Chains A and B, each alone.
Chain A
Amino acid sequence: MAKGEIVIDEMYCRGCGYCADFCPKDCVAIQEDKFTPQGYPLSSFVRPEDCTACGICSFMCPHHAIEVYRYVEE
C-alpha cells in the first residue's frame, strides 16, 4: 500500500539517476524512452505502490526536481 507519491519536474530533471540509485524500494527508475524537454533522460515513478514517502529521492536530487508527498488520514 502506497504511503505517498512523488512528482518529478521535467524542467529540472537532468537524468543523472541518483534518485533511482538511492531509492530503498526501487520505486524510481530512468526509462530509456523518455526524455526531458532539454533532451536529458527522464526519471519516472515506476512502482508507486511501494513508495513510503521517505523523501530520499528528493533530498538526494542535485537538481531539486522531485517533490515527495505523504498521504495523511483526514
Chain B
Amino acid sequence: MKKELVSGLPKLWAHNPAERLECPGCQYPLITRIVYDVIDELGVEGKTILVNSSACGYGIVLTTSVDAMFPNHGQGIDVATGVKRLLPDCFIISFGGDGDVAAIGAGAFVNAAQRAEKYSMIMVNNGHFAMTGGQLAPTTLMGQVTTTSPEGRGPAMGYPARMPEMIATVQGTAYSARGAANNPANFLKTKKYVKKAFQKQIDNVGFSFVEFLSACPTGWHMTPQESIKWVEEKMIPTLPLGEFKDVDTLD
C-alpha cells in the first residue's frame, strides 16, 4: 500500500539536530512551524527576511533556510523597519518575545504601528523573561511566581500588559490578534490569524501583529501537562484569544 505524508517536519526547516535548543515541552517551535507553513502557503519563501531579536526564539534564525538576521535585544522592530523601507518588495517578519515587544522594545513597537510600517510582527508571550532566568515581565499575570516576584505578582508590581488590545487602538495597525496552542483547535485558529496578518503585509495595508501564548514548563517549574493547564486556566481568562482589529484600509 502506498503511503502519503500528512504532516512532518516543516518544509523550511533546516534539518540539523545539533541546533535543537528548546527545552522539553516549550511551545516556541509551534509558532515557528506556523510561520514556516504560512510562508510556504503564501509562496513568499524567496523574498522573506526574518528579523528575530534575542529571545528564546533565536532558534527560528538557526533552523530555517530563508534569509534571517539577529539584531540586539529590543532592536528587532526598528531593524525590521529599516529593512522594509530599504527593500519594500521583501516580505519582512519581525519575531520577538514579551521582553522585546512589551518591555525594552515597547516604544519602538508602538511607534512602528503608529507610522503604519508595512510588516508583520509576532510576539511570543510566556509570561516572564524566560531566557534570562525567569524574571518578572510586563506580561506576567497577577499572582504568578517568578524569580523576582517569589510571592507572586501583586498590585505593587503593576498589572499585566495586553499588547494586541493596546495596539488595536492605534490607527496605523491593520491587524491585531492573540492566539495560543493549548489544544489543536486553537493551534489551527492561530495559524489562520498569522495567515491573515501576513496577507495584510502582502496587500500593503499596514502594521500587523499577532501575539502567541506559549507554555514554558522550564521557566514556570511545571510539567508540560501542568503548563498547558496553566495556559488554559490562568492565561486565557486574563488574556482572551481572538482578533482585536481587522481592517482593509487605514482611513
> Residues on A close to B: CB < 8 A?
4-5, 11-12, 14-18, 21-22, 40, 53-56, 58-60, 62-64, 66-74
Contacts and interface: CB of A to CB of B under 8 A. Distances in A.
Nearest to A18: B224
B20 interface: yes
Interface residues of B, number: 31
Contact of A17 (B27, B28, B225): B225
B31 to A, nearest CB: 10
Contacts of A55: 6-7
A64 B224 contact: no
Chain B interface mostly helix, strand, loop or mixed?
mixed
B242 interface: no
Nearest to A64: B9
B71 interface: no
A71 B2 contact: yes
Contact of A59 (B1, B28, B187): B187
Contact of A62 (B3, B30, B225): B30
B17 A74 contact: no
A62 B7 CA distance: 13
Nearest to B17: A11
Interface in B217-241: 217, 224-225, 228
B6 A58 contact: yes
Interface of B: 1-10, 13, 17, 20, 22-30, 33, 181, 183-184, 187, 217, 224-225, 228
Nearest to A65: B9
Contacts of A5: 3
Given A17-B224, A18-B224, A60-B30, A72 B3 contact: yes
B225 A21 contact: yes
B5 A68 contact: yes
Contacts of B13: 64
A59 B181 CA distance: 10
Given A22-B184, A63-B20, A64-B33, A69 B224 contact: no
